[in-house]
Structure 1
Amino acid sequence: MSTNERKSVLVVDDDFDVRDTLSDVLADEGYVVTTASDGFEALETLRNGLNPALILLDWMMPRCDGARFRELQRADPAIAHIPVLLLTADARLPVHDGALGVQGCLIKPVSLGRLLGAVAPYLT
């Protein structure tokens, strides 16, 4: 895996302000950041060749939410291996981490320290 692939992250969130803030924070840490506004846009980006080391995925989005994205991602062998951290305001969601096949769940609003600590193992 090249340095750019190891240090790249795909941020998927329908809220522009959240995407923009996460992108700025992660870019300031030296990561290469690509953004998508929903699961369908993320899938298109991935299927067009993006191979990030990590996906930060919002759970509640219109058109293609986190659950649908995970279903489609897991069914596609070319992208199924990419680890996913969920972002959600639903504090009840973490109990489902195992069933969703994700590496973890960050509850919004997430602190800078918690965010960077959660992504670091995948992006170093």
Structure 2
Amino acid sequence: MSDTKTILIIDDDSRNIFALSAVLKAKGYQVVSALSAIEGITRLKNNKNISVVLLDIMMPDMDGYQAIAAIRSSEQISKIPIIAVTAQAMVGDREKSLEAGADDYISKPIDVDALLALLAKY
């Protein structure tokens, strides 16, 4: 087993997944993705190698806050670090994400250096 971190990207926009995946893979990370929160939670439960979740907050059906609650309520996956990602970088969004149970927060467009620094924490 290698020390390579596997990152799960949950985002309803495949363009965001593509761009983030390309950057993370170039930096040596393994990447798994999901186009919905429900699919992402299933991937989390089925893949024990996921180290960190990058979770888009603004998604249809189940938004990021609901997804955080679902992840935190599942004993099997509750300890996996979640970094909330949102384009709606409004005053209070960071606090709301952290209060919901996210470990950290980053806004879009994503500053790659800031993201890599966050990932290094986890």
Q: Same fold (TM over 0.5)?
A: yes
Aligned residues: 120
Bigger shift: 80-89 or 111-120? Answer: 111-120
Structure 1 runs of 4+ aligned residues shifted over 6 Å read: none
Q: Where in structure 1 are there 5+ consecutive unaligned residues?
A: none
1:17-60 CA-partner distances (Å, limit 9, x unpaired): 10011111001111110000110000111222343110000000
Q: Where in structure 2 are there 5+ consecutive unaligned residues?
A: none
Structure 1 counterpart of 2:2: 3
Cα RMSD (Å): 1.5
> What pairs up with 1:1-124 in 2 under 5 angstroms?
2-3=1-2, 7-92=5-90, 93-122=93-122
Larger RCO (CA under 8 A, 6+ residues apart): 1
Q: What letter matches 2:81 in structure 1?
A: P
TM-score by length of 2: 0.90
Distance 1:52 1:90 in 2: 26
TM-score by length of 1: 0.88
1:68-119 CA-partner distances (Å, limit 9, x unpaired): 1111111100000000001001223102243112121101111221121221
Q: Percent identity?
A: 32
